[in-house]
Amino acid sequence: MNTKNKKITLYDMVMIGLMAAVVLVVTAYLSIRIPTPTGTTMIKLANAFILLSGLLLGGWRGGLAAGFGSMVFDLMTPEYVPEAWLTFIRFFLMAFIAGQIAHAGGAMARKFSRNLIACVVAAVFSSVFYMLKNVVVLMIGGSAFVPAFIANVPKLLTSPPNIIIAVAVALALLPALQKAISHTGFARQMQAAQKQ
């Protein structure tokens, strides 16, 4: 396997930083916070941009952008600071999964059906990760499984709207963003990396 496409270039750093900033800003300003007995949850548009990170940048680049942008938001929000590292893992994996599926076989996120599958799989994975993390945290605190699960049902209820919003918005914005990126040096770098 050629390792040239594993090097981090200036283009990578710029695009990862740009998408991380977008994820951070959208998480901070385009979300509805919902208090629950086990903590605050959100209906947010940021999940769409996490999926877009994977679709536009590919697996590991998109994962880093989504993970860093989400983690920085957590580090800026006192309630979420203790879980910032888990947030990085969750959203890194969400964008990574979307990017890996959408870019597999040189598809470069150009096939709608593959992009739809990528978005749905990644969004469902993220919701399951979120629910399991919340249940495990309560169980570590001394709760049994069933009460921990029941206590997190209000948070679970935000998952379907978040999945639908994320998938719909990501797929709606993707063509326009791909067209804009296609005129940049980054697009040429990604195409060269795919051919190696």
Q: Domain extents for the chain? A: 4-122+162-195
Per-residue b or e along 83-98, where b marks 16 or more CB atoms closer than 10 Å to that residue's CB: bbebbbebbbbbbbbb
Write the pLDDT tens digit of every residue in 62-106: 999 999 999 999 999 998 899 999 999 999 999 999 999 999 988
Write the pLDDT tens digit of every residue in 159-189: 999 999 999 999 999 999 999 988 877 777 7
Q: In 10 A of CB 184, how many CB atoms?
A: 13
Place of tokens 């203790």: 82
pTM of the model: 0.89
Q: Which CATH class is domain 4-122+162-195?
A: mainly alpha
Angle ∠(13,196,187) on CA atoms, nearest 5: 45
**Residue 67: both structure tokens together:** 């993970």
